[in-house]
Amino acid sequence: MVLIHGWAQTGAVWDLPDFHTYAVDLRGHGESEDFGDYRDSAQWAADLKAVLDHTGPATVVGWSYGGLVIADYLRFHGTALVDALVFVSAITEIGRGRPGGETGPVMRDALPGAITDDVVMAKFCEAMAPFLPGETVAKLTASATSVSHKVRGELFRRDVGSADVLKAVDVPTLVVHGTQDEVVAPAAAEYSAALIPGAELSLYPDTAHAPFLERPARFTADLLRVAR
């Protein structure tokens, strides 16, 4: 299972001991280098292809911005080397008016401040899932503030629609989203699930932006149903 983290996080965010996982650090995040180009879908697609070339066919799980990286891959490579897909509180599009990238008030309040202000970023990490333990929030914050201001900003300087690539998905797909997510609006999940043939939409009540951290037992059970 290949795990793709969200904006200004790292692969360390994942904790899925019941699975054989490969948690990547996206370019400019964690231990990955700053490769310079963050606006080209082809580059994001190439990054994920390099991972899948290494791991072989896998279930690919994308959280938040990780969903957009999956969409980038699908645009250029279809579902080659993909056994199943899981979108978690994810965007699949980005840009003004893009329904697959609809954000909520926590995200809107954080920008543009969180790009360059670590205090604003810390508040964002606390607000994304308000009931997480303080220790977990501290780890999220440390990961987020370790990402350069340049990279934080570049990830938003894109305009990408994904309707066509979502309609072409031909592998089992699960879309997980918290009903109380105020970072990525639940409407973004509904949009993606409606376009992907046969996709299952699993809405978690009383859950915000990190279902895998907030509801780990349910998330694990969902993954066990779709993981290949």
Maximum CA pair distance of the chain? 43
Per-residue pLDDT at 35:
83
What pLDDT, on a 0 to 100 scale, did the predictor assign at position 24? 97
* Distance, CA of 128 to chain centre: 13
> Is residue 126 within 8 Å of residue 63, measured between CB atoms?
no
Q: What is the CATH number of the domain that holds 70?
A: 3.40.50.1820
For residue 188, the model assigns a pLDDT of 98
What is the model's pLDDT at position 132?
A: 97
Domain span including residue 93: 2-227
- Taking residue 84's Cβ as centre, other Cβ atoms within 10 Å add up to 20
Which residues have a Cβ under 8 Å from the Cβ of 204 and sit 6 or more positions away? Answer: 176, 177, 178, 179, 211, 214, 215, 218
Number of domains in the chain: 1
- Report the chain (228 residues): mean pLDDT per 10 consecutive residues: 98 95 97 91 97 98 98 98 98 97 98 98 98 97 97 97 98 98 98 98 98 98 91
Model pLDDT, residue 40:
95
- Are residues 175 and 166 in contact, defined by beta-carbon separation less than 8 angstroms? no
Question: Which tokens in the block code for residue 75?
Answer: 């645009």
What phi and psi, each to the nearest 5 degrees, are found at residue 168? -90, 0
| Pairwise CA distance, residues 179 & 176, whole Å | 10
The full length of the chain comes to 228
pLDDT of residue 99: 98
Cα–Cα dist 228/219, whole Å: 16
Distance in angstroms (rounded) separating the CA atoms of residues 210 and 128: 8
pLDDT of 143 reads: 97
Residue 36: the pLDDT is: 82
